[in-house]
């Protein structure tokens, strides 16, 4: 991280309280639009989306008294840069303990950027069945889309330069506290 810090300026854009409030707001919006959690499942994109998915499921359970089913997608094999940009891809597991046919799905990710991760997730979901609908929930929408993909539920929109990186850190991954940081490339403008 010392090398990364030398090349990037770190700016905290969301602390623990803000992240918690955003998750609560996302959960409320999902419940308001989609209703009974038995009618849809939350599916998180591994890693950050999966952790966020678990928090959303708990927040929805607190609001509604029942928890939506959850699953996870590892999109590694569906990436369009698999053979061009990743030296040693690390494969994880996709876990969908329910059928997708006819079920509503809320796809969950931490940061929406170009849209390519979501495109890969949509491709993978379709290999598992034909959901009634798929909606997208993201904690951070940072813009710079390369594909026509838009979130249905957004925790926060963040203006960034294309060269910036936006990173969510959670206690579940060993972070000292929850939060989101923008790593600005030196010389980059917002």
Mean pLDDT of all residues belonging to the chain: 91
- Give the pTM: 0.89
If one counts the domains in the chain, the total is 1
pLDDT of 190 higher than 70: no
| Torsion angle of the four alpha carbons 130, 133, 134, 136, in this order, in degrees rounded to the nearest 10 | 180
Range of the domain at 28: 2-185
What does the longest C-alpha to C-alpha distance in the chain come to?
50
The pLDDT of residue 81 is 61
Q: Is residue 86 part of a domain?
A: yes
Q: Is residue 190 part of a domain?
A: no
Q: Is residue 106 part of a domain?
A: yes
DSSP 18-40: HHHHHHHHHHHHHHHHH--GGGE
| CATH classification at residue 33 | 3.40.50.2020
**Digit-coded pLDDT (tens) for 24-47:** 999 999 999 999 999 999 999 998
């Amino acid at each position: 991280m010392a090398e990364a810090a030398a090349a990037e300026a770190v700016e905290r854009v969301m602390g623990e309280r803000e992240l918690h409030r955003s998750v609560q707001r996302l959960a409320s919006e999902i419940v308001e639009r989609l209703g009974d959690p038995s009618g849809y499942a939350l599916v998180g994109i591994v890693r950050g989306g999966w952790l966020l998915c678990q928090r959303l499921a708990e927040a929805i359970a607190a609001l509604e008294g029942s928890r939506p089913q959850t699953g996870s997608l590892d999109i590694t094999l569906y990436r369009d840069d698999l053979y061009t940009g990743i030296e040693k891809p690390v494969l994880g597991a996709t876990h969908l303990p329910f059928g997708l046919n006819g079920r509503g799905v809320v796809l969950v990710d931490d940061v929406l950027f170009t849209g390519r991760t979501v495109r890969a997730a949509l491709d993978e979901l379709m290999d598992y069945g034909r959901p009634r609908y798929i909606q997208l929930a993201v904690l951070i929408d940072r813009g710079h889309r390369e594909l026509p993909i838009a979130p249905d539920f957004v925790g926060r929109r963040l203006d960034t330069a294309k060269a910036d990186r936006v990173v969510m850190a959670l206690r579940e991954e060993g972070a000292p506290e929850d939060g989101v940081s923008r790593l600005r490339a030196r010389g980059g403008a917002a």
